[in-house]
Amino acid sequence: MIDHFDVLAPWYDRLLRQPDVGRLARLLGLPSPGRLLDAGGGTGRVSEHLQGSVGTVVVSDLSQRMLKRARAKHIPCVRAHAEKLPFENGQFEHVLVVDALHHFCDQQQAIEDLIRVLKPGGRMLIEEFDLNKLPVQLLAMLEKMFLMGSRFLHPETIADMIAAHRLTVRIESGGRFAAWIVAEKTRA
């Protein structure tokens, strides 16, 4: 099957708006000397701005061509399913997913694996389009028409899926189209 992101990769960074790096860094608890996993991190569009605020950044993604762009920015990359990450338990102090959860094939499994690689005491941040907003509902319909296999979830549903693993979760809304789900993994 065609990978839409392999096709979009050469133009991706130019097509998208600049990320709100200040907000992402604040919600992630940066600066920090720890390690950050940017899962579904694509071209490193976000990670390239966070590299100076954290010890190490790793981008994981499925699309070879998106990763090729991230590698060109000297960001360490791993080709992997978010549902089956090739990392030991608790390797990352910070886990970030921007605009990617709705693309993951098995969101439940991806959330489980992202929590697995998050260190106790660590923080996970998911930025997603907020399905409570009408323009996002239209975008969800469009992505369905283009057979992108997207499955948008309400921020509250994502928060519940994470809280089921006994993390402390809160939602920050107030973005134009996005919501941010911030989760802390309690220390063992």
* Site of interaction with ligand SAM (CB under 6 A): 5, 40-42, 45-46, 61-63, 66, 81-83, 98-100, 103-105
Whichever of 18 and 186 has its CB closer to ligand SAM, that residue is 18
Report which of 19, 23, 47 is spatially closest to residue 35, judged by C-alpha positions: 47
We find the least distance from the C-beta atom of residue 10 to ligand SAM, in angstroms, to be: 13
Q: Identify which of residues 93 and 143 has a Cβ nearer to ligand SAM in the complex.
A: 143
Of 167, 174, 154, 157, the closest CA to residue 124 belongs to 167
Cβ–Cβ under 8 Å, residues 96 and 39: yes
Closest chain position to ligand SAM (CB): 42
Q: How far is the CB of 186 from ligand SAM (least distance, A)?
A: 26
DSSP code at position 58: E
Give every strand in the sheet of 168-172, ordered side by side.
Answer: 77-79, 54-61, 32-39, 92-98, 118-129, 178-184, 168-172
Our CB check for ligand SAM shows the closer of 35 and 103 to be: 103
Task: Choose between 144 and 166: whose C-beta lies nearer to ligand SAM.
Answer: 144
